[in-house]
Amino acid sequence: MLAPLLGLNAAKLEDIASGWLPSPKDLSIWREVRVFTTTSEGTTVNCYLVWDEVSRAAALFDTGFDAKPILDCIAENQLDLKYVFITHSHYDHVTELPKIREAFPKSRCVPIPKTRR
């Protein structure tokens, strides 16, 4: 089987292929966290915006397929986007990066390093 050669768990892969999804998490207990879920061509992706309540400094994790809700949230909450963290370079995580960078050219774009498990 290919999974062990790649260091993957075959049973977990089978569960995912059979429709397993992680349980939803209630993030509403944190006022300064927003999750944006966007879909394009059958692919759904989440990105996350977090910020400091006092300084209004914000960080975005990935961009999703639509920058508008993110930019609207930043404007509505009067945030200063300081960082954009990219978890990996798949298109669904970086599609809107040019729009985000255009709106916040001083924000620092930071790739999150891949770690071995």
Q: The domain spanning residue 39 has which CATH number? A: 3.60.15.10
Q: Is residue 116 part of a domain?
A: no
Overall pTM > 0.75:
yes
Domain containing residue 73: 22-111
Q: What is the pLDDT of residues 41-55, one digit of tens each?
A: 989 999 999 999 999
* pLDDT for residue 117 is more than 50: no
Q: Is residue 47 part of a domain?
A: yes
Q: Is residue 36 part of a domain?
A: yes
Q: What is the pLDDT of residues 64-110, one digit of tens each?
A: 999 999 999 999 999 999 999 998 888 888 999 999 999 999 999 98
Q: Is residue 42 part of a domain?
A: yes
Domain count, the chain: 1
Q: Is residue 54 part of a domain?
A: yes
Q: Is residue 2 part of a domain?
A: no
Contact assessment for residue 28 and residue 55, using Cβ atoms and an 8 Å cutoff: no
